[in-house]
Homo-oligomer: A and B are copies of this chain.
Amino acid sequence: MTAEVRRVRGRRRTLDEEQILDAALSLLASRGADSVSVRGIASQVGVAPNAVYTYFPDKASVVRALAERILGEIDHGAFDDRDLPWRERIHALAADLRARLIARPGAIDLLLAGPLDGPNALALVETLLAILADAGLSPDDAARASYLLIVHSLGSIALEVAELDRPGPVLPEEQRVLRRQAALRAVPADRYPRTASAADVMAGSITTEQFTWGLDRVLDGLSVQRSSEAKQHPPDHPLRG
């Protein structure tokens, strides 16, 4: 019955887990993933390095909590409007995730540092499964599809972030494309003829537009598979609702 934790003896807590994660997030935003160190966090909150170990057993668990917290910023309620077409809902969810992770380079490294098995990661999967069920996919198809969509989204983000000059402030998309364009135009056409002549298109692969295009191709692929394997419910006409 006593859910409250008794802290009778000894010093009061000067911090809590959230303040530690706040500090870590601010370091991540300002100076990149490498600066998210136990010592850096400690000095950010004004405490000795080893005081962090009062709240987390090791650095890995701080990183896990940080990844969870970033995923927790997503408002799942924004994507469960079943009146909207399911493709739109998935696009909105993916775009939201991408915008958040690109804005905080280094965050994707934290997410990919371990299994995505926290409550907020599971909530994200659950939301995706709900949308895919509304789209008419069977539970098994929806499970496979949700993983494929996560692979596409996180994979795109990881490749896009890998192009950044780390660390440093995030340049606007247009400038990043121009840099990539310059690099790709320097590709020797004698050795890489196809790459060289497609340089400008390849440079655009890190844009929002191409991310959306790729997502549409994946969704097309899922629709093809669905319509050929389960003809009893045609596309965009879910059985339920």
Residues of A within 8 A of B (CB): 112-117, 119, 122-123, 125-126, 129-130, 133, 139-140, 142-148, 150-152, 154-156, 158-159, 162-163, 183, 187, 191-195, 197-198, 201-202, 205, 210, 213-214, 216-225
Contact present for B194 and A126 (CB under 8 Å): yes
Given A144-B205, A210-B147; A122-B192 close (CB under 8 Å): yes
Contact present for B210 and A220 (CB under 8 Å): no
How far apart sit A214 and B183, CA to CA, in the bound complex (Å)? 31
Contact present for B183 and A115 (CB under 8 Å): yes
Contact present for B217 and A112 (CB under 8 Å): no
How far apart sit A113 and B133, CA to CA, in the bound complex (Å)? 36
User: Chain B's nearest CB lies how many Å from the CB of A163?
Assistant: 5
Contact present for B125 and A195 (CB under 8 Å): yes
Given A112-B158, A155-B158; A148-B217 close (CB under 8 Å): yes
How far apart sit A218 and B219, CA to CA, in the bound complex (Å)? 8
User: Chain B's nearest CB lies how many Å from the CB of A171?
Assistant: 14
Give the contacting residue for A221; candidates B116, B129, B210, B217; CB below 8 A.
Answer: B217
Chain B residues within an 8 Å CB radius of A143: 198, 201-202, 205
Contact present for A220 and B225 (CB under 8 Å): yes
Give the contacting residue for A213; candidates B112, B144, B201; CB below 8 A.
Answer: B144
